[in-house]
Amino acid sequence: MSNINIKKLAQELNLSTATVSRALTDNYQISSETKRRVLELAKSLNYEPNPFASNLRNQKSKTIAVIVPEVANHFFSLAINGIEEIARKRDYHVLIYQTHENSETEIAFTLKLLSGRVDGILISTSGETNNKQHLIEASQSIPVVFFDRVYEDIEGVKIITDDYESSYQAVQHLIEAGCKKIAYLLALHNLSTGEKRLNGYLTALKDNGIPFNKNLLVTSTVDSNQNYALIKNLLANNKPDGILSSIEELAFPCYYACRELNLNIPRDIKIISFSNLDCAPLLNPSLTTITQPAFEIGSEAAGILFKIFDKKCFEPNETRVLKSVLIKRESTAV
Measure the CA–CA gap between 228 and 84, rounded to whole angstroms.
34
Measure the CA–CA gap between 286 and 282, rounded to whole angstroms.
6
Measure the CA–CA gap between 125 and 106, rounded to whole angstroms.
8
What is the nearest approach in angstroms of a copy of itself to the Cβ of residue 109? 6
Q: Residue 109 is inside which H or E element, if any?
A: helix 103-113
Measure the CA–CA gap between 68 and 93, rounded to whole angstroms.
16
Phi, psi (deg, nearest 5) at residue 130: -95, 10
> If binding means CB under 8 A, how many residues of this protein chain bind a copy of itself?
33
The binder of a copy of itself chosen from 203, 213, 217, 285 (CB under 8 A)? 285
95 sits near a copy of itself (criterion: CB under 8 A): yes
222-225: long-range contacts, CB 8 A cutoff, minimum separation 24: 222/100, 222/101, 222/102, 222/128, 224/249, 224/253
Q: Binding to a copy of itself (CB under 8 A): which residues in 49-78?
A: 70-72, 74, 77-78
The binder of a copy of itself chosen from 278, 310, 312, 328 (CB under 8 A)? 278
Measure the CA–CA gap between 260 and 173, rounded to whole angstroms.
26
CB atoms within 10 A of CB 285: 17
What is the nearest approach in angstroms of a copy of itself to the Cβ of residue 198? 26
What is the nearest approach in angstroms of a copy of itself to the Cβ of residue 65? 8
- Indicate the residue among 72 and 313 with the shorter CB distance to a copy of itself: 72
What is the nearest approach in angstroms of a copy of itself to the Cβ of residue 194? 23
252 sits near a copy of itself (criterion: CB under 8 A): yes
Measure the CA–CA gap between 78 and 176, rounded to whole angstroms.
31
The binder of a copy of itself chosen from 108, 236, 261, 321 (CB under 8 A)? 108
The binder of a copy of itself chosen from 18, 56, 261, 279 (CB under 8 A)? 279
Residue type (1 letter), 170: A
The binder of a copy of itself chosen from 286, 303, 326, 327 (CB under 8 A)? 286
Binding range to a copy of itself, per CB under 8 A, among 147-155, 161-169, 192-200, 282-290 = 282-290
Binding site for a copy of itself (CB under 8 A): 70-72, 74, 77-78, 80-81, 84, 88, 93-98, 100, 105, 108-109, 112, 117, 252, 255-256, 277-279, 282-286
